[in-house]
Structure 1
């Protein structure tokens, strides 16, 4: 099992972020949280790094189903989607979505399998749409 569903976009970071937001929205995901890792590391540690954004994506019906199976699953929500500049290719951006199968593996709760499957289908569709736009 892979940790992430991944694609590389031949677009600069800012454009890739907007495309990622749109692809997630098309699959019913809203962005609940946003962490600008680059800015945080610069502010807190005076450390420079490439643009790196963590989007906390939530599909409310899927989250509701998962929480109905196991309340502690909220520890693994929302689904994180990382958009980061490719350090080796400045015109390219990596987009990585958490593999929802991790919820099942980490929790050991087999009743989460259908929710994880549906979430993975939607996240894969978003990643595939980004790849198709390239």
Structure 2
């Protein structure tokens, strides 16, 4: 994994980019880049606020955006009606200690892989390509 600003960072289950902008700016960029790729944000979870309220712990800002591309979701649900258990795609915006922000997303192939249905792989590949394009846009500013 690399932590260089703008460079794609990958794990076995996700991908992301580090941007040297404040958290609020990264959230704004993320919403815009997702919209440009046909994703709507269905859910929003403020991890830091939730853990503060429930456990009294302080964490740097961290937001989980539940992003959904309606066309891809519809295609997938036609193949596997229980696919909704794996939706939406989580996109995490997390403040880093040095003032930068990390924007990352789960690899869609990992999500659909648990179904064992190969027919879902083309939709997962398209979702990955769209999410990767969004991450590149976020990195480019």
Aligned residues of 2:33 and 2:134 also touching (Cα < 8 A):
yes
Moved over 4 A (4+): none
- Once residues 38 and 65 of structure 1 are traced to their aligned partners in structure 2, the CA distance between those partners, rounded to angstroms, is 34
2:85 partner SS? helix
Task: Provide structure 2 residue ranges, at least 5 long, that are not aligned to the other structure.
Answer: 1-10
TM-score (norm 1): 0.94
Structure 1 residue 65 corresponds to structure 2 residue 70: no
Match of 2:49 among 39, 43, 46: 39
Q: CA deviation at 1:105?
A: 1.8
TM-score (norm 2): 0.90
1:107 partner SS? coil
Q: CA deviation at 1:3?
A: 1.1
- Once residues 102 and 110 of structure 2 are traced to their aligned partners in structure 1, the CA distance between those partners, rounded to angstroms, is 20
1:108 partner SS? coil
The number of aligned residues is 131
Higher relative contact order (CA 8 A, sep 6+): 1
CA RMSD of aligned residues (A): 1.0
